[in-house]
C-alpha cells in the first residue's frame, strides 16, 4: 500500500517536472506573441475615466479567462480529431486582425468626415458612458479571443508529441500565465498616473525624489498609451501576417526566397491582406446600404 502511494507520488513529481520544462519551451515560443497581446490589450484597456479603469480591465480579464475555457477543450479536440480545422480557424482570425490593423491606419490618415469628435467620457451621461464601455470591452474580448487562439495553438505545437495529459497541463499553464501576466502588466500601465499622484502627495517637499518620479509617471502615461496604440497596430499586422506566412503553404513557398527579414515580410503581408479585407468590407457595406430600405426613401 505504502509502496503504491510512493510510486504514485513519484509519477506525479516526474509529470510536474516534465510540465515545468515543457512550459518553459512553450513560453519561449509564445513570448513574442505575448508581447503583441500586451500592446494590443493595453491600448484597448485605456481611455476610460480613472474610477472605471480597473472595473473595465477586470471585465476584460474575466472575458479573457472565459475565452481560454472555450478555446482549450476545442483546441485539444481539434488537434486530435480534425487538425486541418485549426489552420482554417487561424487564417480566419488572421483576416480579422489584419482588417483591424489596416482600419486603424486608414482612419489615422483618412478619418471619416461625417464622424464628429467623440465627447470625453466625463461629459457623457451615465448611460452613454456605460454603453461605450460595453462596446470597448466587447471589442477587447473579441481581439483577445483571436490572439488567445494563436497563443494556445503555438503552445500546443511546442508539445505536439507529448502524452495528452502533459499537453493539457502545459498548454493550460501557458494560457493562465498569458492572461494573468498580460492583464497584470496592463493594470500597472493604466494606473501609472494614479500611482504617480500618490507619490507626489507622499510628502510636503516640492522637489523630492518621489515628487520627480511621480511627475514623470503622470506625464509619461499619455505617451506610453499613444506608443502602445502604435505598437498595438503594428502587432495586429505582425500577428496576422505571421498566421498567413506560417499556415498558408503555397504563400510560404512563394516568399521563401525573398531577401528580406521574416518580420518585414510578415508585417507587409498583414498590411496588404488587411487593406484588401478593408476594401472588400467597405464595398460590401456600400452595396448593402444601396439596397437597404432607408437609402430608397
Is pLDDT at 100 greater than 50 in this prediction? yes
CA distance 231 to 19: 32
Q: How far apart are the first and last CA of the chain?
A: 83
Average pLDDT for residues 30-36, to the nearest whole number?
A: 57
Banded pLDDT at 277 (limits 50, 70, 90)? very high
- Which pLDDT score, from 0 to 100, does residue 280 have? 94
Query: For 228-272, what is each residue's pLDDT tens digit?
Result: 778 778 877 887 888 888 777 777 676 766 766 678 888 899 899
**pLDDT exceeds 90 at position 276:** yes
Q: How far apart are CA 181 and CA 150, in angstroms?
A: 17
Query: What average pLDDT does the segment 194-221 reach?
Result: 81
Residue with cell 487538425: 83
What is the per-residue pLDDT for 246? Answer: 77
Higher pLDDT, 28 or 41: 41
- What was the pLDDT predicted at 28? 55
Question: Could you tell me the three cell numbers for 244?
Answer: 498567413
More confident residue, 72 or 41: 72
Burial class (CB in 10 A: 0-12, 13-18, 19+), 248: middle
CB-neighbour burial class of residue 217 (10 A; exposed 0-12, middle 13-18, buried 19+): buried
- Between CA 106 and CA 115, with CA 110 as vertex, the angle to 5 degrees is 105
pLDDT tens digits for range 34-50: 666 666 666 666 666 66
Mean pLDDT of 55-59: 84
Mean pLDDT of the region 284-289? 88
As a whole number, the mean pLDDT across the chain is 75
DSSP H helical segments within the chain, as ranges? Answer: 2-44, 50-81, 83-109, 126-158, 164-190, 192-200, 209-247, 249-255, 262-291
Q: What percent of the chain has pLDDT over 70?
A: 71
Q: How many CA atoms lie within 13 A of 200 on its CB side?
A: 13
pLDDT band at 9 (very low <50, low <70, confident <90, very high): very low
If one compares 149 and 15, the residue with the highest pLDDT of the two is: 149
Give the model's pLDDT for residue 17: 55
Specify which of 7-21, 52-66, 148-162 reaches the highest per-range mean pLDDT: 52-66
Asked whether residue 31 carries a pLDDT value surpassing 60, the answer given is: no
Question: At 281, is the pLDDT very low, low, confident or very high (cuts 50, 70, 90)?
Answer: very high
Q: Looking at the predicted structure, is the pLDDT value of residue 33 above 80?
A: no
Per-residue pLDDT averaged across 191-210, rounded?
A: 79
Q: Does the structure show a pLDDT above 50 at 15?
A: no
Residue 222 has pLDDT above 50, yes or no: yes
Q: Are 72 and 171 in contact (CB under 8 A)?
A: yes
- Taking alpha carbons only, the member of 5, 50, 6 closest to residue 194 is 50
Task: Kindly list the domain boundaries of the chain, sorted by start residue.
Answer: 11-296
Q: Is the confidence at residue 275, as pLDDT, over 90?
A: yes
Amino acid at each position: 500500500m505504502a509502496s503504491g502511494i510512493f510510486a504514485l507520488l513519484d509519477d506525479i513529481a516526474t509529470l510536474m517536472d516534465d510540465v515545468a520544462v515543457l512550459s518553459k519551451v512553450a513560453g519561449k515560443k509564445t513570448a513574442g506573441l505575448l508581447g503583441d497581446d500586451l500592446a494590443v490589450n493595453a491600448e484597448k484597456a485605456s481611455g476610460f475615466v480613472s474610477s472605471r479603469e480597473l472595473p473595465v480591465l477586470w471585465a476584460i480579464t474575466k472575458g479573457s479567462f472565459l475565452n481560454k475555457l472555450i478555446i482549450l477543450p476545442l483546441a485539444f479536440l481539434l488537434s486530435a480529431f480534425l487538425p486541418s480545422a485549426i489552420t482554417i480557424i487561424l487564417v480566419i482570425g488572421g483576416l480579422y486582425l489584419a482588417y483591424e490593423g489596416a482600419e486603424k491606419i486608414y482612419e489615422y490618415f483618412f478619418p471619416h468626415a461625417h464622424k464628429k469628435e467623440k465627447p470625453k467620457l466625463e461629459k457623457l451621461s451615465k448611460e452613454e458612458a456605460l454603453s461605450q464601455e460595453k462596446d470597448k470591452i466587447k471589442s477587447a474580448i473579441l481581439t483577445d479571443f483571436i490572439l488567445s487562439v494563436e497563443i494556445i495553438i503555438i503552445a500546443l505545437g511546442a508539445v505536439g508529441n507529448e502524452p495528452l495529459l502533459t499537453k493539457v497541463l502545459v498548454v493550460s499553464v501557458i494560457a493562465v500565465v498569458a492572461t494573468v501576466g498580460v492583464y497584470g502588466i496592463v493594470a500597472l500601465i493604466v494606473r501609472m498616473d494614479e500611482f504617480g499622484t500618490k507619490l507626489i502627495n507622499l510628502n510636503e517637499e516640492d522637489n523630492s525624489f518621489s515628487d520627480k518620479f511621480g511627475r514623470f509617471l503622470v506625464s509619461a502615461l499619455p505617451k506610453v498609451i499613444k506608443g502602445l496604440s502604435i505598437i498595438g497596430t503594428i502587432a495586429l499586422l505582425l500577428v496576422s501576417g505571421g498566421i498567413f506566412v506560417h499556415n498558408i503553404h503555397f504563400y510560404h513557398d512563394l516568399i521563401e526566397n525573398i531577401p528580406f527579414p521574416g518580420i518585414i515580410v510578415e508585417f507587409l503581408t498583414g498590411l496588404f491582406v488587411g487593406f484588401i479585407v478593408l476594401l472588400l468590407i467597405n464595398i460590401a457595406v456600400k452595396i448593402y446600404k444601396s439596397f437597404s430600405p432607408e437609402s430608397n426613401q
